[in-house]
């Protein structure tokens, strides 16, 4: 992808791999809840970890996409998925909340990375925000559809709004040139904080309901 301005290429790459691993874990946990075999677990983990970035790169005409250029992404996703299988196999089953927490961490990392990549391509601010949110949620949406689940983005709890908030935070702070990629860290914390608060206290946006409908 190349390192975005104001952000070390080493740290950018490390965060990208971290997000890949975390989303692969979330995918493996979802597949495990559905009782899939090992091949199914790996497929769901890879789709979850790589789906959002792939879609973003295709839309931005950024070729080749990250995992085609660097197979470390596939290796990290597979190892994270296999590690999750072994951990659950030889220890007690993980609480369902772990899936949501793992997803929240991946959401924070990929949202900010997606926004950074779009800004590097000199897209309009609105496009960068949308690309950030899409990078964060697309892999999870594909995962849930494959697993015959209602995508988390459509649940009552705040999800996509957390992505949009983090992306907006980044584009607002970016012109100030904060030291040490502080803007990136604050944007990630914004996504993570909002999403974890929504999980903990079941926060949701107001619902729109036509009168007479129940």
0.85 surpassed by pTM: yes
User: Do the domain assignments include residue 71?
Assistant: yes
A 10 A CB-CB count for 46 gives: 23
Rounded to whole angstroms, what are the CA distances from 95 to 33, 88, 99, 192? 11, 10, 8, 19
Using one digit for the tens of pLDDT, what is the confidence trace for 120-166? 999 999 999 999 999 999 999 999 999 999 898 887 789 999 999 99
User: Do the domain assignments include residue 109?
Assistant: yes
User: Do the domain assignments include residue 2?
Assistant: no
User: Do the domain assignments include residue 208?
Assistant: no
User: Do the domain assignments include residue 1?
Assistant: no
Can you give the pLDDT at residue 3? 40
Using one digit for the tens of pLDDT, what is the confidence trace for 162-186? 999 999 999 999 999 888 789 999 9
Using one digit for the tens of pLDDT, what is the confidence trace for 26-60? 999 999 999 999 999 999 999 999 999 999 999 99
Rounded to whole angstroms, what are the CA distances from 43 to 21, 26, 38, 40? 14, 12, 9, 5
User: Do the domain assignments include residue 209?
Assistant: no
Closest CA to 142 of 33, 57, 23: 23
Q: How many domains does the chain have?
A: 1
Range of the domain at 63: 9-201
């Amino acid at each position: 992808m190349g390192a975005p301005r104001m952000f070390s290429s080493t740290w950018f790459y490390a965060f990208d791999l971290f997000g890949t691993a975390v989303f692969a874990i979330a995918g493996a946990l979802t597949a495990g809840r559905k009782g899939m075999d090992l091949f199914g677990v790996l497929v769901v983990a890879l789709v979850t970890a790589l789906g959002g970035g792939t879609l973003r790169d295709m839309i931005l005409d950024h070729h080749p996409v990250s995992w085609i250029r660097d197979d470390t992404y596939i290796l990290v996703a597979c190892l994270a998925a296999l590690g999750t299988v072994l951990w659950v196999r030889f220890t007690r089953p993980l609480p369902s909340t772990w899936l949501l927490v793992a997803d929240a961490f991946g959401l924070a990392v990929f949202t900010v990375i997606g926004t950074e990549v779009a800004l590097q391509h000199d897209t309009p601010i609105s496009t960068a925000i949308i690309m950030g949110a899409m990078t964060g949620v697309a892999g999870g949406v594909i995962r849930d559809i494959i697993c015959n689940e209602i995508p988390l983005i459509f649940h009552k709890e705040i999800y996509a709004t957390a992505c949009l908030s983090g992306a907006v935070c980044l584009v607002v702070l970016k012109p100030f040139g904060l030291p040490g990629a502080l803007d990136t860290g604050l944007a990630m914390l914004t996504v993570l904080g909002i999403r974890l608060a929504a999980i903990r206290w079941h926060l949701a946006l107001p619902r729109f309901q036509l009168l007479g409908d129940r």
